[in-house]
């Protein structure tokens, strides 16, 4: 990586702009929403956090609904896929929970970007979804920021 890795919200904004340029619908002028809607009507939601408690994760992962802003009002939509982005190593319970639950692993991805934020190009991922947006996100990070992803199973277990 040639330059410092951008703050996570700037990274997501850059990616959403890429999606918008490719004709996908994104949340524009929404400071607290990071979603991309594909042509087939599926919403792909990006969540980033430093700390996640098991009960909070379970609530979000099982809900599959999100209120999104439409002008001055809100609409509740079904979220097809959720990607969790971490600047620091994510808790192992989260990775294990997704790996142990086939239904959850089809809808939930984890991108451990801690390597990029520590100046390395190697990051971990858990993405068994069929989300074209998340695959595009990986490609964006590889092309624009020279990040290389390894599946969590191919890297040593992290302690948190």
Residue carrying the six token digits 């991922």: 125
- Name residue 83's beta-bridge partners: 46, 109
Total domains in the fold of the chain: 1
pLDDT at 67 over 90: no
The pLDDT-based confidence of 159 (bands split at 50, 70, 90) is: very low
- How high is the pLDDT of residue 157? 52
Boundaries of domain holding 56 = 8-154
In the chain, alpha helices (H): 8-21, 54-63, 92-100, 102-107, 114-117, 132-145
What backbone torsions phi and psi does residue 82 show, to the nearest 5 degrees?
A: -125, 130
d(CA 89, CA 109): 14
Q: Tell me, yes or no, whether 134 lies in a domain.
A: yes
Q: Tell me, yes or no, whether 2 lies in a domain.
A: no
Mean pLDDT of the 75-96 span: 93
- How high is the pLDDT of residue 37? 95
d(CA 39, CA 105): 23
3-state secondary structure of 153: helix
Q: Tell me, yes or no, whether 44 lies in a domain.
A: yes
3-state secondary structure of 10: helix
Q: Tell me, yes or no, whether 100 lies in a domain.
A: yes
pLDDT at 86 over 60: yes
The pLDDT-based confidence of 25 (bands split at 50, 70, 90) is: very high
Q: Tell me, yes or no, whether 1 lies in a domain.
A: no
Say what angle helices 132-145 and 8-21 make with each other, to 10 degrees.
110
- How high is the pLDDT of residue 51? 86
pLDDT tens per residue, range 36-56: 999 999 999 999 988 899 999
Q: Tell me, yes or no, whether 160 lies in a domain.
A: no
d(CA 125, CA 84): 10
Q: Tell me, yes or no, whether 159 lies in a domain.
A: no
């Amino acid at each position: 990586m040639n330059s410092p890795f951008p703050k996570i919200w700037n990274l997501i904004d850059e990616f959403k702009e890429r999606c918008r340029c490719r004709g996908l619908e994104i949340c524009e002028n929404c400071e607290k929403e990071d979603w991309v809607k594909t042509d087939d009507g599926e919403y792909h939601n990006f969540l980033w956090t430093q700390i996640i408690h098991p009960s909070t994760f379970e609530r979000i992962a099982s809900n599959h609904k999100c209120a999104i802003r439409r002008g001055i009002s809100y609409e509740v939509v079904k979220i097809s896929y959720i990607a969790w982005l971490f600047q620091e190593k994510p808790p192992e319970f989260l990775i294990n929970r997704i790996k142990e639950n086939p239904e959850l692993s089809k809808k939930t991805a984890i991108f451990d970007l801690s390597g990029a934020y520590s100046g390395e190009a190697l990051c971990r991922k858990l993405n068994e979804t069929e989300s074209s947006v998340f695959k595009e996100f990986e490609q964006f990070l590889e092309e624009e920021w020279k990040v290389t992803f390894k599946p969590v199973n191919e890297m040593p277990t992290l302690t948190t």
